[in-house]
Structures are given as structure tokens and as C-alpha cells.
């Protein structure tokens, strides 16, 4: 019975390439009902695409927490205090503090 169900779903499946694109687009704009249905049907069957979608969401959340400093092109991580930032700068470039 389960195999029969997955065979029926596979007929409507648009494939991993299409779903990975749709997952990415979903972060930028709301999906239409058809796009949402195709995405969720595929995610029911494909663990790889579920993992990919989770990773995209994590990357988006992390990137929205970072910002560029107005005075330079360096990234600022708001969760770090100034002392920790300075240690990281020295570890990356030992000549930076000189």
C-alpha cells in the first residue's frame, strides 16, 4: 500500500532540482498554492531535499544576524563582545594590532 502511494506521488513530483530552486525562492517570496503543494509533496518523499531546506533556513537565519560595519567592510557579529572580536582579529592577522 505504501509503495502504491509513493508511485502515485512520484507522478506529480517535479524532481530535486526544481524543489531545491523552489526552496530557495521560498526564502525570498511567498509561494503560490501550486508551488507549496509540489514542494511539500516532494519533501514527504525526499530526505535529501528536507535536509537541504533545513540548511537553507539555517544559513538565512545566520546571515540575517550578521551585518556590515558602517565604517569598514568588516562583518560584525552582534553576539560577540569587543574583547572576543579583538582576539579573533589577532588570531586571523597577528600584525593587525601593531
Mean pLDDT by 10 residues, the chain (98 residues): 69 81 91 91 89 92 66 61 83 71
Segments making up each domain of the chain, as ranges? 1-65, 66-98
What would the 3-class secondary structure string for the chain be?
CHHHHHHHHHHHCCCHHHHHHHHHHHCCCCCCHHHHHHHHHHHHHCHHHHHHHHHHHHHHHHHHHCEECCCCCCEECCCCCHHHHHHHHHHHCCCCCC
- What is the pLDDT, as a whole number, of residue 67? 58
Amino acid at each position: 500500500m505504501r509503495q502504491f502511494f509513493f508511485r502515485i506521488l512520484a507522478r506529480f513530483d517535479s524532481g530535486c532540482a526544481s524543489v531545491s530552486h523552489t526552496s530557495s525562492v521560498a526564502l525570498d517570496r511567498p509561494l503560490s498554492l501550486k508551488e507549496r503543494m509540489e514542494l511539500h509533496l516532494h519533501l514527504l518523499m525526499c530526505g535529501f531535499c528536507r535536509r537541504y531546506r533545513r540548511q537553507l533556513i539555517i544559513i538565512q537565519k545566520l546571515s540575517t544576524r550578521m551585518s556590515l560595519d558602517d565604517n569598514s567592510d568588516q562583518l560584525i557579529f552582534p553576539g560577540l563582545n569587543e574583547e572576543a572580536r579583538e582576539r579573533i582579529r589577532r588570531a586571523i592577522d597577528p600584525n593587525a594590532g601593531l
